[in-house]
Amino acid sequence: MREMPLRHAVRIVCYSSMFALCGSLAACVESVPPDVVQAIESVDNDLAQLRAAELAPSAYNAFAYQWVTLRGRVEAEEDTVRWPWESNDLEAALRGLHAEGTRTVALLTEQQETLRRSAARQLAEVEAQAHVLTTHVGAIDSRLILGEKPIETDLLLKQARTFYEQRRYEQSLSASQRAFHYLGAQSTLLQRELGRYASPDRVARWQRMAKETIEWSRTHKRAAIVVSKAERSLTLYRNGQKVVSYPVRLGFNGIKEKRYQGDGATPEGRYRVLSKRGRGQTQFYRALLLDYPNQDDRRRFLSERKMGNIPMLRGIGGQIEIHGVENELMAQTLGCVMLENVQMAALFDRVDAGTPVTIVGALLEQNSVAKALASLSGQRNEI
């Protein structure tokens, strides 16, 4: 067996003596305290959870660079021990890094909580506004006016909610803000298309039309009909007195002002019953054919076309009726006024060809459409 060199033997003896002395005096300590390393690793995990690399790149890059450097020294000195009175710049550097990382974690946590509260508040407000809009749109049957905008708004709100649940609060704020602007665009569109329902002058004009029709009934001792689109009602008069009122359904876009064939809007104006149609003469249960379009309708149609508001390939249309229901597939009329069959039968027997039919937007200033528009207008402040 080869003999160990003297210098190696001396070194082992010295180390053994030192460890023995450390053990007997309980005075030596590790060069790298494990609790400090574990604390920094915990801070590093916290920074990752808080997306520090994205939200505070300068602070996080400085922390990460220093931690990589110090971790190399930690691995190199894992088995090193020292006397407690000896200075340890590695431990000092590690504790300094831990303190700096802890401050960054606290700052980001505060910022994230502020963002969370803002995102939660804004999302709740926009969702509430969307619910109000949906409720009003459903109440006045104006869904088709808005086209795809409600769907786009709903998708944005779902996106904002998902971002919020993922704690991506900045993205949640951005998505809900976009949804808010979409809601504003919908309110503006409704105001433009249906604003006449909230116009006192227009409502006064409709009221005059209805009064003149009722007066005609009184003077001629005949039947007359007044239809109010906002109230979804048809009222039969005889000798100027109200006989009965029925609820009605309008065209699939009936609340709008009719412009051309196929727009689904129910026309407004003074008309007369051209003919009564029974079984085999109409696709519905029974029908009263009106004289739409009349001269006023044609004049308005030509004016709108000249202004470019009507596509050139669209005609003025016709075949507007007051009718019953054939089956559930025909439960949505294309621009007419629809009653239930029992009510249609009763009306059919009480009127004749030539009976005046006046269709107006509304008879009350505080009609359902005006109330809906006023409510939506009050929501259009910035969130």
pLDDT > 60? residue 48: yes
Separation of first and last alpha carbons in the chain: 88
- Is the pLDDT reported for residue 124 higher than 70? yes
Alpha carbon of 273 to those of 94, 140, 270, 295, 321: distances in Å?
A: 93, 27, 11, 15, 9
Alpha carbon 201 to its chain centroid, in Å, reads: 33
pLDDT over 70 (residue 140) = yes
The predicted-structure confidence for 154-192, as pLDDT tens digits, reads as follows 999 999 999 999 989 999 999 999 999 999 999 999 999
Mean pLDDT score across all residues of the chain: 87
Confidence category of residue 9, pLDDT binned at 50, 70, 90:
very low
pLDDT of residue 379: 65
| 75 confidence band (pLDDT: 50, 70, 90) | confident
Residue 7: pLDDT over 50: no
| Distance (Å) of CA 2 to CA 5, 6, 14 | 9, 12, 21
Q: Which pLDDT band holds residue 279 (cuts at 50, 70, 90)? A: confident
Does the model's pTM come out above 0.85? Answer: no
- pLDDT per residue as tens digits for the range 304-357: 889 888 888 889 988 899 999 875 555 456 789 999 999 999 999 999 999 999
Say yes or no to pLDDT of 216 above 50.
Answer: yes
Give the pLDDT band (50/70/90) at residue 14. Answer: very low
Work out the average pLDDT over 218-243.
Answer: 97
pLDDT at 265: 92
Q: Per-residue pLDDT for 133 more than 80?
A: yes
What are the distances in angstroms from CA 198 to CA 201, 232, 330? 9, 16, 31
